[in-house]
Structure 1
Amino acid sequence: MEKHLNSLVKFNTRQLAVIGMLSAISILLGITGLGFIPIPPVKATIMHVPVIIGAVLEGPVVGCMVGLIFGVFSIIQSITTPTPVSFAFINPLVSVLPRILIGITAYYSYKLCGMKFKHLGAGVAGFIGSCTNTIGVMGMVYIIYLKPYAKALNISVNAAKDGILTVCAINGIPEAILSVLITMAVVTAVSKIRNR
């Protein structure tokens, strides 16, 4: 059993490089603001896309590691550049757990599509991974911090509920579409390079 667990945790050089590169891209997107694309009336984020790409190209463990680093970066960002609701994002259940789960849901949704439908699978992974991020993060805010969230924004609890659901719908849909397009493009390009 211990030997089996050790073999699951070991990374080869390529996997370590992919984790480092995709984590750096995710952090760069956050620091520079390039990870937020204005699609009026919202700003859609693509910061979770490197997690999805890592999971599809290198497997769920790599995706989870990139998600972990993305989540830890979210905590650091909440501490260093706080907003009225940053207290919620300092909690790893809100900012880390959903990001780790992106790697799992994206990978297995990709695999469910099978080897014949890799292009479609990449799109499905992009969609499911993006929904995991949006629903996971906002769902945890709803479950754990609904009342403090409402108080921090100086709104009623019912308004906070509606606001969280609205964010999931209004931000979630453009983010999912962008994730599908970017994931399909990157996975297709990398697959072509690998098959040469």
Structure 2
Amino acid sequence: MERGLKSTTKFSTRQLAVIGMLSSISIILGVTGLGFIPIPPVKATIMHVPVIIGAILEGPVVGAMVGLIFGIFSIIQSITTPTPVSFVFMNPLVSVIPRVLIGLTSYYVYRVVKSKSKSLGIGLGAAVGTLTNTVGVLGMIYLIYLGPYSKALNISLSTAKKGIVAVAVTNGIPEVILSVVIVVSVVTAVNKIKRK
């Protein structure tokens, strides 16, 4: 049965369990700091990986729901443990929309490519989902908050622009690699268990 978007969405018990479990993993990764892997000179995040896994295993709506909870958690975290630039994550356009889109982009890339190669589909889905997070969040900060962001960090606009682009590249590449390795491993293992 096709698990695409439907006009009336009803979640099965299995889908609700998957949403709850993967959302919890994402939140635990954020609260404990385990979601940040130090790869000198950067810290790559894997907090978006549960969103991609949910989307590829259970469809775009499940992925979008896990992304929604991840985004809401980002807002709560920016309020409860503020930093000088936490105000940018209080805006759902920065913290929620890109995270919801992770589930949609990763699923549909996987779905298009899987007919040629399932592993390639999973890997490309993971890569595109990761880039959706990186480009979506940093792109929104750039478009909406460049001025206030540079003021909060006490740097010039041009330095802020270069900094955002540098973070997108230096964090984005390791995050894509980590995401592909983790998602391909987990989804392949789960699919083997399902077939038994």
- Quick check: TM above 0.5? yes
Partner of 2:23: 23
Equivalent pair of 2:71/2:96 in contact (CA under 8 Å): yes
Structure 2 Cα separation of the partners of residues 61 and 5 of structure 1: 11
Shift, 1:194, TM fit = 0.6
Shift, 1:120, TM fit = 1.1
Structure 1 Cα separation of the partners of residues 97 and 189 of structure 2: 29
Partner of 1:45: 45
Q: Secondary structure at the match of 1:140?
A: helix
- Structure 1 runs, 4 residues or longer, greater than 6 Å off: none
> Identity percentage over the alignment?
70
Partner of 1:67: 67
Query: How far does the alpha carbon of each residue in 1:39-80 deviate from its partner, in whole angstroms, 9 at most, with x for none?
Result: 000000000000000000000000000000000000000000
Paired letter, 1:85? V
Query: How far does the alpha carbon of each residue in 1:103-124 deviate from its partner, in whole angstroms, 9 at most, with x for none?
Result: 0100001011123511111111
Structure 2 Cα separation of the partners of residues 31 and 115 of structure 1: 38
Specify every segment of 5 or more residues in structure 2 that has no aligned partner in the other structure, as ranges.
1-5
Q: Secondary structure at the match of 2:11?
A: coil
Question: What is the 5 A alignment of 1:1-196?
Answer: 5-6=7-8, 9-196=9-196
Partner of 2:3: none
Structure 2 Cα separation of the partners of residues 160 and 178 of structure 1: 26
Q: Secondary structure at the match of 1:115?
A: coil
TM-score normalised per structure 2: 0.96
TM-score normalised per structure 1: 0.96
The alignment's C-alpha RMSD in Å is: 0.8
Structure 1 Cα separation of the partners of residues 48 and 186 of structure 2: 14
Specify every segment of 5 or more residues in structure 1 that has no aligned partner in the other structure, as ranges.
none
Structure 1 Cα separation of the partners of residues 25 and 87 of structure 2: 25
Query: How far does the alpha carbon of each residue in 1:100-146 deviate from its partner, in whole angstroms, 9 at most, with x for none?
Result: 00001000010111235111111111100000000000000000000
